[in-house]
Chains A and B, each alone.
Chain A
Amino acid sequence: MKEPVIKHYALIIMLMFACLVTSQVMAIEIVTHHQVIDSQLTKSQLRRIYTMRQLRWSDDTVINVFVLPNQDELHQRFAKELLQIFPYQLNRIWHKLTYSGLGVAPTIVSSQQELLQAIINTPGSIGYIEKDMLITLDDKQDTINHSEQNKAQPISGKGVVNIVKIKS
């Protein structure tokens, strides 16, 4: 009788471990330039920013949006999981803006490293990056300014980005 129970618990622990590993792998962080004062955003706000329906931060500074190429796996996950919009819908909106003169679409960069570099260098910028990637990069250089820190006095200086909390 005991053996199946142990097997049962073992399975649950394995599943929990798998979930933990999976969630860690899947985690996507929203990062902004260190001078951006908005430390948390709602999902609606994030969606408005990426569909170019909100162009300014709460202090009226211009938002500079960065994305990875359409077929990039992280871009696909970001669109579906965080924006709840399909990547082809974003393309439709951005193409319309870019090629009909109506507005400006996000800037496309080719890799996560390039995206992080763009966020560090561009005032008002926002982008997304895998948590693992951020941790790896943070080990090499002091990159992250976590949102728990005092946002009223953002840390200035090169090599710092903010991590934004997303409220549902």
Chain B
Amino acid sequence: MLKLKANTAVYLILIIKKLSSRRHFCVRTILWAFLFISTCLSVTQATAEHGYINAQDFQLHGFISQGLIDVNGSDFVNDDGELSTELTELGLNASYQLTNTLRFAGQVVYLDGGNRYEKGFRVDYALIDWSAYNDQYWQANVYLGRFKNNHWLYSSSRVVPFARPSIILPQSVYFDGFRDIAVGSDGAAIKISHSNDTLGNFDFTLSYGSSPISDEQTNIILGDFALGEAEQDYETQGSFYWQPSFSPWRFGFSLLDSDFNYEKNTQADFFYDSKFSLQFYTINALYEGEKWEFSGEIYQQRFVMNGFYEPDYHVDNIGQGFYLQSRYKVNKALTLLARYENFYLDKDDKNGKKLEENSAGQVPYYFGFHKDMTLGLNYDITSNFSARMEYHWVNGAGRLTPVVVPNKLINNSENWQMWAVQLMYWF
């Protein structure tokens, strides 16, 4: 075990040394800090081996991952199309049980995904968990503060490299451009779980809150020409999951309703005050067998926009999408992945022709959809150190940033590809 830890440390040092350019100075500093903390924690764990009295009262966990990603034919990660190291994900979290019913938990993450989302540190979650009711069959918890979106199949673990099924998640549902808004909220959530010996497990979650939208996030969604302020008014979300007793299947659905507004910069702005409304519905199924795992999510969104381009501009369209994913466990360590997804912005304009016509040719038709065929593999080197690689064949530019004012100069081709490799360590 110690040997493995030493190997991992040597590997991390090598990665850090390779990040030699000035541009990566910050990342290097963070990685060194992380390595130092991890080493300290290992020592603490070793000395704590003889006393587990408060084993679950205070817990500290984290993860570190670094990858290489190469995109050809789009600005998904970078504008120049070069091989990129902008695939860094670090996280450190703590959980402290204050009393029998109150617990504090928080996680800080550092993310670098190039154009996919804002680079830097963020508080992923920071919450008080009140265990309001607890018996053999029922659990009711109330979460206050910044909580994670726990409603979609992979939404709560999308930030955690080894807990999600692939390096890049299906962009139809888990669009990185909306990541910081969709990943969680500041507000309150309630989760009720019921376990029944004959009927199975039931989980119901309801949440209400809003997410702060940074200037960088505004640019990612609206483009560099939007100089005003975007704000999320509220987001209400609910979900229900059912797993029949001792069954490999699990089924769920979720509903989301959210309003945003954009206040133009009164000094100078290319756009106008506007209101956006989004409703998002998903149904999902998961099958977990010994060798095979299947999962899929179907979703529909309704997007309403008033203003923005012109004071009386109005858009009301329904987008749809789905993905189907299968994973095959070759042995204890190796898992193969195959996935297909299909998404279109407007169900009445699946090939994007109307989008091109309505924008007088300014927005090419292929911005109206996104189809992705993915093949990949995951290899568990140890119980907490894994390697992953995948290849994507993408048709369409419907899930590229910026969203509202697309970059058609870089994204000038309907088909594009990407591959990525990633190493992940966690404790």
Contact = CB atoms under 8 A, between A and B. Distances in A.
A56 B134 contact: yes
Interface string A54-70: 11101000101110011
A118 B333 CA distance: 28
Contacts of B382: 69, 71
B100 to A, nearest CB: 7
Given A53-B195, A98-B93, A122 B52 contact: yes
A101 B380 contact: no
Contact of A102 (B1, B106, B191, B329): B191
A61 B161 CA distance: 35
B53 A122 contact: yes
A121 B51 contact: yes
B297 to A, nearest CB: 16
A104 B104 CA distance: 11
Contact of B105 (A64, A101, A114, A122): A101
Interface residues of B, number: 58
A8 interface: no
B346 to A, nearest CB: 33
B418 to A, nearest CB: 25
Contacts of A72: 383
A102 B150 contact: yes
Contacts of A62: 56, 100
Contact of A99 (B163, B245, B333): B163
Interface string A98-130: 111111100111100010011001110100000
A105 B86 CA distance: 31
A101 B127 contact: yes
B23 interface: no
A99 B195 CA distance: 23
A127 to B, nearest CB: 10
B63 A117 contact: no
Given A53-B195, A100-B125, A101-B129, A110 B1 contact: yes
Contact of B150 (A55, A100, A118, A121): A100
Given A45-B136, A96-B156, A110-B1, A118 B55 contact: yes
A88 B52 contact: no
A102 B107 CA distance: 11
A76 interface: yes
A117 B50 contact: yes
Interface in B102-138: 103, 105-107, 125, 127, 129, 131, 134-137
B312 interface: no
Contacts of B317: none
Contacts of A107: 52, 55-56, 59
B391 interface: no
B93 A99 contact: yes
A101 B191 CA distance: 13
Given A64-B55, A76-B332, A121-B52, A100 B157 contact: yes
Top 7 closest pairs, chain A to chain B, by CB: A100-B156, A69-B383, A95-B163, A101-B105, A70-B383, A101-B125, A100-B148
